[in-house]
Amino acid sequence: MACARKLLFRVFPNNSLSVHRTITMSAARRAEEAIEKLKESNPYYSKYAAKIAQLQQTSAEEFLDRVERVAELPHKKLTDIMKLELIADKGAEEISQIWLEYHKSKEVLAATLTTAQYETLMARAKEHPVFIIPLPRSEGFEFVMLQFAANTVHHENAPECLTMVHYTEVQDKGVVLMRGEYDNKVLTAQEAQCLANELQMFYLKPDEGKLRLLETFTRKPDEFKHMDLIKEVHVFATLTLGLLQMLTIHETMGMGIIGPASVCDLHMNQAQLASLTAAGFMGIICSSYFWGYITDKKGRRWTLLRTITLSNFVAGPSFVAATYLSEFCSHRILIRTITHMYMFTGFAMVYCPGWASLFLSASFMEFEVDVVGSLTLRPWRVLGCLNIIPGRGLATMEWISRKNTGRPLSDEQKEHLRTYQDHVEVKRRKGKHNFLLSMLNDAMPLFRKPFVGYFVCACLVMFVLGLLANGLGIWYTAMRNRCNMRQGNTEGMTFCRILFVPDMGPIVESESDLEAVCNDSFLGFNDSFILGAVYIVLYNLSWLSLFCVHKKVIFVFSLVAASTGGFLLIFVTNYTFQLFSLVFLIAFPGVTVGLLGGSLLGFVPTYIRGKALCISLMWCRCGAAIGAILVGSNIQDSCELILLAIAILPLS
């Protein structure tokens, strides 16, 4: 559902940018209201009352035009906010940091633009002075009209609900400062942030799809389709960020397939396999908070583009994707949108066994090629390489781009590099300690009121959810493969007995020097496809339920369902019940991670969202690493006890 309300975006000669609510009325009526406001706010009204009345009677339109031109003066000058003499010797980066730090605790929007970005904004504003953008509401989208002009559309009266002022006083240093003030009776802070972000998407980014929409709206308004706008802003963003979520999932959870497949070649015991499987989570833990800090400092999009390149070594995209998407959602639909984005986890859980089916269970892909010494190339090694292809793609493209110039550095470029190196060396000596201290201090608001209670509880719950969904989940494929390869009659046997009680058969081997043969084969991945499908279904059910049920109800139901699945897994002997008990024990906590992450993003303010989500997901990865090690090392000796402890965890 979408509705249109007349809201205007205006750019004035003094560089202020405003969003307005428009109410259509006659010029005479508007003139009367303008006079009433002048009586209340202007102490000199009585002195000029006769001239004002004469102008109103002669030409109401001219009177309104003069009143509007006066109203369009900026609310504040930069000198009213900052002492320019104190920043005269500072560079663009330091000025930007001062500006953003100053506005952190204030109920305003704040940002900085480079000179090039500001010039691009002004150039596109001249070409496309009027546009509309979708603002998410609880029941659909509300279309907001933006206008870059000194006059309102059709000379309508437009009370301000958001004013964004661009200060160009320090433009000679390469930076333009922006401050946005909004009417909280009309917009929430998150809705104002959403409007600012969508303005940036259309007027600053070199995106062909968005530029095409601008051109169509300006040149061919009859061909403009509102649903194309919604698709470009929200559907495309959700799809792109969901694919980035898939990238991280298959690079980590893929170890659940590659690890067991490599046991024979690497001669690993169960403890070594558990450590190897958990290593992927441990690497992510090391960089978690760093990327949250960088995300809040540099911006979601800046961090997202760079972590895609580094995605072989860090899981940055999964941390940044949710916070980046949250900037384009109102608070009313935030949790639903984040939950829907996490649905791509289910697609990743289908994608992983899909490739594994081709390389590990297909007979025509069975090969062994000697490489160097005892090192051989087998299908599981090729599968491991495929799991990192999405992460290497952008890095390869950047390398090709650098190579394409084919020219050495000029003397001028070398001089710039030397100057930059000298500058960096000085800053490094000054700021190494300050950087670490800044990272610590920036996280402190999360551990103070009013955030500390909710945030600490969220981290503890994330730990449990990570242990179940990822720590146990990473062994899912290996467990189901072992169950499916079990020989003999399994009727009446529990899950643990099928896994670990050997089938002796009618003949007992009497030879003492019998050597067991290592078996690393996989008997299909149908059960893994079922897990992925259940993930997708549960994410969609959770998303739909959020329209009519409070998130707490879904949260409690998911934990109880997971715990029930754990208890049933210990006792049931039916094959199908065992399969779905294990699936629900893993999938319900996985879905709850997305639900809790969305709730946390809605609870904390924008300037610490990145850090809040990254720290909470760091605890989730800690639970995953510990769970992977505990399950892998101990389940063979204490299967029922491990499952009982896991089943109790969601209820604790």
Q: Residue type for 230, please? A: I
Residues 6+ apart with CB under 8 A from 487: 503
Q: So what's the pLDDT on residue 561?
A: 93
Location of structure tokens 């979708």:
134
Tens digit of each residue's pLDDT (9 = 90 or more) over 222-240: 888 877 777 676 666 666 6
Partnered with residue 8 across adjacent β-strands are: 20
Per-residue pLDDT for 439 more than 70?
no
Tens digit of each residue's pLDDT (9 = 90 or more) over 516-542: 445 556 566 788 888 888 988 998 898
Q: Which pTM does this prediction carry?
A: 0.57
Pairing verdict, β 175-182 and 160-167:
antiparallel
Tens digit of each residue's pLDDT (9 = 90 or more) over 116-164: 888 888 888 888 888 887 776 655 667 777 776 544 444 444 456 777 7
Q: So what's the pLDDT on residue 4?
A: 44
Angle at 154 between CA 151 and CA 159, to 5 degrees: 60
* Structure token pair of residue 594: 């997305």
What does the alpha-carbon distance between residue 127 and residue 104 come to, in Å, rounded to a whole number?
34
Spatial contact of 588 and 558, defined as CB atoms under 8 Å apart: yes
Q: Any idea of the CA torsion for 204, 209, 214, 218, to the nearest 10 degrees?
A: 150
Per-residue pLDDT for 101 more than 50?
yes
Q: So what's the pLDDT on residue 428?
A: 42
Structural domains of the chain, ranges and CATH numbers in brackets: 6-224 (no CATH), 233-403+441-504+520-651 (1.20.1250.20)
